[in-house]
Amino acid sequence: MMELRQNIAKKRLYEGKTVTCFALWGYAGSDHIERLAPIKPHAIWMEGEHGNVDFGDLPNQTRACDIIGSTPILRVNQNDQGIIYRSLDLGAMGIVVPHVNNKEEAENVVEGGKFYPIGKRGSFTSRQGIGVKDYHNLANDQTMLIILIEDIIAVDNLDSILEVDNIDVFFLASGDLAQSMGFPGQNDHKEVQKVVDESLKRISAKGKISGAIGNKGNVKSLYENGVKFYLCDPRPYMAEGFQKYQDFAQKALDK
């Protein structure tokens, strides 16, 4: 008999540790995931809302995550129970749901992501559960549910959203939040950051786990506001590295 694979990211969070999740934005192949093995990310964020990850991609991409010891997390494109549990059936161990704006929508995520007695996930064995005895009674403990707080209406409803159990991470997404506040493209606007900081503190005060996109400029502030789940966008660091290479090469050529 096989043993159910452990959700590394979820385990770390409930041990009080931080989680660093690598965003595959524009780099969606299973080979790309395998090449991340040396940096040992706790989790991989596969993009099914704004990216090209589809159901046919998930089995191999989640296998690649398993190979390198990272938790496979998929952002789906809508709060639909069928989409949520189909993604889990195909190997995802974490689901990110966008635009969760009230308590009822958060409850819908749980119903789609958890088997009875917690939710209504369709009865099927995920590729993570092949050969696992009693999978349906064990899987809920390893399933990770993340909701995006990314509209000002969600901030207004945050207290009631935080009442929903079995949501593992309440993730503040400043991009859409800025847009909903009338500041499109201005994630760093002082009014947006004020709302983000206050919301993170409210999440921590309720004993819940918060998440956000971390970078060199904000990671200290996020940590001080209680964030445990950090999403890393690699694109700025790739651009920075290439610029350093260009500068070095140009100096060498000028000699």
- Catalytic machinery residues: 50
Three-state SS annotation for the chain = CECCCCCHHHHHHHCCCCEEEEEECCCCCHHHHHCCHHHCCCEEEEECCCCCCCCCCHHHHHHHHHHHCCEEEEECCCCCHHHHHHHHHCCCCEEEECCCCCHHHHHHHHHHHCCCCCCCCCCCCCHHHCCECCHHHHHHHHCEEEEEECCHHHHHCHHHHCCCCCCCEEEECHHHHHHHCCCCCCCCCHHHHHHHHHHHHHHHHCCCCEEEECCCCCHHHHHHCCEEEEEECCHHHHHHHHHHHHHHHHHHHHC
Residue 43: count of CB within 10 angstroms of its CB:
27
